[in-house]
């Protein structure tokens, strides 16, 4: 029965993945798109702190830091959904758009008393935008339409080992793959001639990360956790086709005029950055916990030959090192209450600030927000299965300097199904 449930949910999820719309943000036009990896709903309720496992029962798989799975004692299957509703502001203009997609699908389990393993799927990055821009400041006013779609997915696996009761280490491998399409059409106001810049890129390659966690009991029921990760910078294959053509319209009919440029490169490589994270938490077992985290990514090392010399998408763009700081906490009124279900709910909250990974029009695109989450126990009381909900409100960018400001509300829903699948039975 358990395997049937897992197989059915997996099939449903994998079918839905094929038709997902993950982003409508104009900022996803740059680089490999908007980053999405690390979409655990529990983490989402605490400011997206992910370097430590902040499940009070330890029964939630952590793929960002594989070493943070040292307390996992049951097989854990997770499926998570995410939806975002965003308002875009540009000068005096406002528009709204929304997305919904499967953000996590994973299975993790104990291998031995000291080791854990797991594998899963998550979106890694996404590109999705449709922007029309009119430049009337020059002597030849221009109309431009920018469109993009696609993204990179991650299929990944981790292995962790408890070196001592207090220290654990782990490693993760990601296989990244996906397609990204970007298009730009330029025309002179009042003219019929259109110049079309079209770029299609297929990405594939491996990424590796390592992590460690120090878990120290203080007194009878308090605990200090310290964790760190390092994601190795890597080059992934970026096969691309770049095509520039001109055409005009005769009524509704498009008439192609000329091919200006055609480039097909099978051997291009995109350099992804080194990333580091550090986090610490302190709390009382099964009662409360406070955690802080900082992440740093060396995006100044990023390079992508696909967009080094073509189209205006890369004008006034410079990649910069980025960092993200977050603070989060959870509280359980009474985890063992039999009188009130609400006393057994996990209440979460968090705040974060992110310095963006690129400058646009010589200004950094920053992001900040607040989160609220709830862990709702389901099923048997001894397996820690849980329905998690997370809400998020944030702002990205600014209306100054001809930029776009995004005001977004996010909703996440995740289900952790925990049970003993692979442990050998003593009595049958």
pLDDT of res. 250: 72
Mean pLDDT of 34-40: 84
Pairing of strands 222-231, 194-218: antiparallel
pLDDT of res. 50: 95
Q: Give the span between the Cα atoms of 120 and 236, in whole angstroms.
A: 20
Res. 10 pLDDT band, cuts 50 70 90: very low
Cα torsion through 346, 351, 357, 363, rounded to 10: 160
**pLDDT digits 0-9 by tens, 122-172:** 999 999 988 877 766 666 677 888 899 999 999 999 999 999 999 999 999
CATH number of 1-13+23-419: 2.40.160.60
**pLDDT digits 0-9 by tens, 332-345:** 999 988 889 999 99
Q: Give the span between the Cα atoms of 329 and 350, in whole angstroms.
A: 6
**pLDDT digits 0-9 by tens, 319-366:** 999 999 999 999 999 998 888 999 999 999 999 999 999 988 888 899
pLDDT of res. 90: 85
pLDDT of res. 301: 94
Tokens of 341: 């279900």
pLDDT reading at 61 higher than 70? yes
pLDDT reading at 287 higher than 60? yes
pLDDT of res. 421: 60
Res. 205 pLDDT band, cuts 50 70 90: very high
Q: Which of 262-276, 297-311, 349-363 has the lowest mean pLDDT?
A: 297-311
pLDDT of res. 4: 44
Among candidates 323, 322, 320, 343, which has minimal Cα distance to 331?
343
Mean pLDDT of 5-22: 48
Phi and psi angles of residue 412, each rounded to the nearest 5 degrees, phi first: -130, 145
| Other CB atoms within 10 A of residue 424 CB | 5
The residues, any chain, with a CB within 8 Å of residue 368's CB and separated by 6 or more, are 351, 352, 353, 354, 394, 395
pLDDT of res. 13: 47
Q: Give the span between the Cα atoms of 5 and 10, in whole angstroms.
A: 8
pLDDT reading at 423 higher than 90? no
Res. 312 pLDDT band, cuts 50 70 90: low
pLDDT reading at 5 higher than 60? no
Number of helices (H), then strands (E), in the chain: 2, 21
pLDDT of res. 422: 53
Share of the chain above pLDDT 70, in %: 87
Tokens of 254: 């498009």
The per-residue b/e assignment along 228-241, b for 16 or more CB within 10 angstroms, e otherwise, is bbebebbebebbbb
Phi and psi angles of residue 187, each rounded to the nearest 5 degrees, phi first: -145, 155
**pLDDT digits 0-9 by tens, 210-255:** 999 999 999 999 999 999 999 999 999 999 998 898 888 776 777 7
Among candidates 261, 240, 257, 239, which has minimal Cα distance to 248?
257
Q: By the 8 A CB rule, do 65 and 383 touch?
A: no
């Amino acid at each position: 029965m358990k395997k049937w449930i897992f197989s059915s949910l997996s099939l449903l999820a994998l079918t839905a993945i094929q038709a997902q719309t993950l982003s409508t943000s104009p900022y996803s036009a740059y680089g490999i798109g908007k980053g999405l990896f690390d979409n655990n709903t529990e983490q989402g309720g605490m400011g997206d702190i992910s370097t430590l496992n902040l499940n009070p029962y330890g029964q939630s798989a952590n793929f960002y830091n594989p070493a943070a799975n040292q307390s996992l004692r049951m097989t854990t299957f997770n499926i998570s959904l995410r939806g975002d509703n965003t308002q875009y502001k540009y000068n005096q203009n406002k528009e709204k758009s929304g997305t919904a997609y499967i953000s996590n699908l994973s299975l993790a389990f104990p291998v031995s008393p000291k080791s854990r393993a797991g594998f899963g799927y998550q979106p890694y990055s996404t590109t999705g935008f449709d922007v029309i821009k009119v430049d009337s400041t020059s002597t030849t006013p221009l109309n431009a339409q920018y469109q993009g779609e696609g993204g990179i997915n991650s299929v990944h696996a981790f292995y962790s080992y408890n070196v001592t009761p207090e220290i654990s280490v782990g490693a993760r491998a990601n296989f990244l793959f996906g397609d990204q399409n970007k298009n730009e059409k330029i025309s002179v106001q009042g003219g019929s001639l259109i110049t079309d810049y079209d770029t299609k890129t297929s990405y594939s390659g491996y990424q590796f990360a390592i992590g460690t966690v120090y878990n120290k009991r203080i007194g009878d029921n308090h605990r200090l956790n310290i964790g760190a990760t390092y994601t190795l910078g890597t080059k992934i294959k970026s096969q691309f086709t770049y095509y520039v053509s001109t055409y005009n319209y005769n009524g509704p009919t498009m008439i192609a005029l000329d091919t200006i440029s055609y480039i097909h490169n099978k051997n291009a490589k995109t350099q992804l950055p080194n990333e580091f994270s550090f986090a610490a938490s302190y709390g009382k077992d099964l009662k409360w916990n406070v955690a802080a985290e900082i992440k740093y990514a060396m995006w100044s090392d990023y390079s992508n030959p696909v967009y080094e010399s073509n189209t205006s998408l890369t004008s006034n763009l410079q990649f910069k090192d980025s960092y993200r700081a977050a603070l989060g906490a959870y509280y359980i009124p009474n985890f063992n209450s039999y009188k009130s279900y609400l006393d057994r709910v996990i209440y979460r909250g968090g705040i974060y600030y992110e310095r963006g990974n690129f400058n646009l029009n010589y200004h950094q695109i920053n992001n900040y927000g607040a989160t609220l989450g709830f862990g709702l126990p389901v099923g048997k009381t001894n397996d820690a299965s849980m329905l998690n909900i997370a809400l998020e409100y944030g702002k990205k960018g600014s209306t100054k300097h001809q930029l776009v400001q995004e005001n977004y509300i996010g909703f996440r829903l995740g289900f952790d199904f925990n049970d003993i699948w692979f442990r050998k039975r003593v009595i049958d």
